[in-house]
Structure 1
Amino acid sequence: MTSTPPSSTIADKPTTTINIKNAIPLVLDLDQKSLAPFDEWIRLDSIVKSWIYSTLSQSLLHMILKKKNTASGVWNDLEKLFRDNKDSKSIQLDNEIRNITIGDSSITDYCTHIKSLADLLENLDILVPKKNLVAYTINGLSPKFHYITTTIRHRSPLTTFMKTCSMLLVKEQHMLQDQQNHVSFCRSDNAFFTN
């Protein structure tokens, strides 16, 4: 019994490109004597708009959706939304990363949040220096991490962000293990005295 291999699609081939001419067979040419019919332009514009719409969240889609808008109009509206807020957003993100604290978060969640803020800033063309990333990380920790933050501060050269997160994860795991051992010891101690 021979099995036929499953048919492959574009989604199966991440390096495959989509030939836009399959969806939009029109080739613009200034030397061409007649332009495409208006109905064809409308159809092609609708295809491009649907591609753009399919990449937006529902809330963003509702924000920019309007009747009789062209693909170019949709693109320009999106550009205004994202570029006009660039400076304001970068100031807000910079303030957030500088003042971040661990609170009740785990080290994994805390470091992931810091990394995502740094990535968002980088997307806005604001590079967070690697030393600052480490400083923001250890400055926002609770006092229970005092000894490990002192160790990290006095490393020369200063550790990387990933190494800092790794050291903090190990410390957090040790603290959790110590806490579990203490609870187990207290339970066994209580059991001894009640018998």
Structure 2
Amino acid sequence: MATTPAPATKPLHLVYTVTNIQHKVRMLDGTKVSYSSWVKLFQLHAKGYKVMSHTDGTQSPAKTDTEYEAWAEIDAIVLQWIYGTLSDDLLVRVLVTESTAYEAWSRIKAIFLNNKGSRVAALEHEFNNLTLKSMSSLEAYCQKLKELGSQLNDVDCPVNDQQLVLQLVRGLPAEYDIITSYINQILPTWETACSMLELEHHR
């Protein structure tokens, strides 16, 4: 008597293999980690673990669909990823009782991309007026300027390497005049300009 073969078991979805998303995606706080950087990192892992459809607006299965329960479980995990990579301040603003991953994703996007005009004006003012004297160290100055550049990129006001370098030297005091003049002439990359200033500072 022939035996009926057992139905093939569906392989475990890759999303279940992630034990700690914070080891893969840095915490979004809007300053040290900009929105655009967080999105790039998150989407990189979402693509690798085959869950991009949970953040790109793809229609979910109907609740009557046999696939819905499995989809809802995976969506809950992606939602945990999102909530788990937000700073406490941001989490309070987007955490709701009932939400899909895409809804939470959209709420975060709205926080960073709504009211662009006023955000651009405030960020540009801070970027254009930042000086070394207002910061605790040269390293902090360079880091802050880079962060402001990233935040401006988030609101569709791109800041390229050359603009960063020009603003970097613009905010330096008179004792850096020689190296400032040289940097203005050769316009090196951001990393090179920062390294040159560090060497001059130690010298």
TM-score range, shorter chain: 0.5 to 0.7
Q: What CA deviation, in whole Å up to 9, does each residue of 1:70-114 have, x standing for no partner?
A: 444323322322221433323322221111100153322222222
1:125 equivalent in structure 2: 156
Structure 2 residue corresponding to 1:134, chosen from 165, 169, 183: 165
Structure 2 length-normalised TM:
0.58
- Give, in whole Å, the separation in 1 of the partners of 2:183 and 2:72: 61
Partner of 2:87: 57
Q: Is 1:100 the counterpart of 2:130 in the alignment?
A: yes
C-alpha spacing 1:106/1:47, structure 2 compared with 1 (3 Å): closer
Q: Percent identity?
A: 31
Amino acid at match of 1:113: K
Matches within 5 A, 1:1-195: 17-18=48-49, 35-36=65-66, 45-103=75-133, 104-153=135-184, 155=185, 157-174=186-203
Q: What TM-score, normalized by structure 1, do the two folds share?
A: 0.60
Which one scores higher on RCO, CA 8 angstroms, separation ≥ 6?
A: 2
Q: CA deviation at 1:44?
A: 5.5
> Hey, what does 1:178 align to over in structure 2?
none
Partner Cα separation in structure 1 for residue 118 and residue 69 of structure 2: 42
State the distance in 2 between where 1:84 and 1:140 align.
30
What are structure 1's unaligned runs of at least 5 residues? 1-8, 21-27, 175-195
Amino acid at match of 1:35: D
When the two chains are superposed, the root-mean-square deviation of aligned CA atoms in Å is 3.6
How far 1:152 sits from its partner (Å)?
3.2
Which one has the largest radius of gyration? 1
Where does structure 2 lack aligned partners over 5 or more consecutive residues?
Answer: 1-16, 25-43, 52-59
In 2, Cα distance between equivalents of 1:163 and 1:110:
15
Deviating beyond 4 angstroms after TM superposition, the runs of 4 or more aligned structure 1 residues are 37-45
For 2:77 and 2:18, how far apart are their aligned partners in 1?
Answer: 18
- 1:150 alignment partner AA: S
